[in-house]
Amino acid sequence: MKSYNKAGRSSNTPILLSRARNFSEPPKQLNGESRVKNPNLPPIEINSSNMTSSQILEEKPLVNLKQVLMIEEKLSEILEKLRQGPIDKSICDDYWALTEDSSIPYLEKLFTEKRTQTTLRHACIIEMVTVAFANICFSDKMPSNLSQNFCNLFYYVHQNFLTIMKLMLYRCSNDSLSNSWTHILRTKVQEKQATIGVKGGVSGFMKHHTALASKILECITSIGPVPLRPALMSVLKIVYCPTYIRARKMIESILLGISTIMEIPEDLPMLPTSPYLPNTDKEYTLILDLDETLVHYVDNGPESRLNIRPGCSDFLIELKKYYELSIFTAALQDYADWAIDSIDTEKSISYRLYRQHTMQTGPVFIKDLSRLGRDLSKVIIVDNVAENFRLQPGNGLFIKSWFDDVEDTCLAETMVLLREIALSKAQDVRVALRNYRDQVLRQIIKGVSNPLLNFVTSK
């Protein structure tokens, strides 16, 4: 990253914001002493880069709206140029200069609800990670598929930033509403922001876009040029960072070449402490993969969608009667939570495990069942990638990958097998699965057209 003078400082226009409980709560009236008496008078600027979060909270929360608008324009410029074709990574330099002393990361302190704070903070970190990915990958020779992924990625990031701008308008003090920069900001939001129609209002809108951005970041990591993948994987780990400032410092260390392999601090572990799951009164545990097992995400920018495998709802509802159900996915948590919430309308799934719970070996994310805290003789994992359960292959039930076949019956057929294993009171599910594999092989040799539906757990 190049060194710039702080962009936007030539005409400082800080606006006083008020603190509120959550996204939906209307802005509180500020007392006369706290209001900006005259937005046209030179205000006191807070240099947030030299202050702790608690110090920011103690001061009057000021936001430089001109700087905010310049950041939005930069994100919009990157998006528009991506739509025209591959671009050079130097376009990212202005973004880093503009955001170096931005007060946007401290906006979370305007809200008392923890979930709201987390949503805002995570959206800001995802934005930084996105631009860092661009720093690593952008070139005039970038493949078209990678360029399209970045185009979709910046669309979601830009929409989230517009939402943050909208939140600023909600929190402006009354005296600030007539400020010319406030008017420009309002116009930008009205012109560019997509309609908020998702469940959960503003909060749900941001979570939705953050989830989709997370999914695309995963995709770019896997399809990006091989020499760049270590750096991409290093930056991707930063999405779990608990603070914005720390995340930025970690990104800078990678982009400046201080470290090409991310060194994860002790309090930001790659592998959470086991056991992953608490005690249960269910005899059997069923671990389910997510992508291409239960769902398939189609990335198409604003028209993106989540395809749900036929029979998924019935599968979850029925097997909940016999198993403790848990999702174990290599996906990032934002996307995974969004996808799981979409398919689990009856709350059948008890627990969720994500990428941070896997053991990464090259491109493979191994799911070590020994870390669950369950008796492995009672655990089954269903996954479309056998490599994922290679540490406990006897517990694995491989299922065909699914993308969009509306006639697919794999979940319905697998449900029959899993229900039979539970009803048979199998002492060791690994023995039952081995019997299943042996019987399937024998039936295939005999010409049985659908060996699964003819399966019995005992000879």
Which positions are catalytic?
Answer: 289, 291
| Alpha-helix runs per DSSP H in 62-200 | 65-84, 93-99, 114-137, 144-171, 180-192
Which residue reads 């690994």 in tokens?
Answer: 430
Tokens of 390: 């290679």
Tokens of 452: 């699964």
Cβ atoms of 69 and 185 within 8 Å: the answer is: yes
Which residues touch 61 (CB under 8 Å, ≥6 apart)?
16, 17, 18, 19, 103, 106, 107, 109, 110
Cβ atoms of 433 and 336 within 8 Å: the answer is: no
3-state SS, residue 294: coil
Say how far apart CA 287 and CA 326 lie, in whole Å: 5
Which residues touch 18 (CB under 8 Å, ≥6 apart)?
27, 28, 29, 30, 61, 110, 171, 172, 173
Which residue reads 């060996």 in tokens?
Answer: 451
**Torsion-angle region of 428 (φ positive above 0: left; ψ -120 to 50: alpha; else: beta):** beta
Say how far apart CA 126 and CA 121 lie, in whole Å: 9
Radius of gyration of the chain (CA): 25
Which residues touch 351 (CB under 8 Å, ≥6 apart)?
276, 277, 324, 326, 327
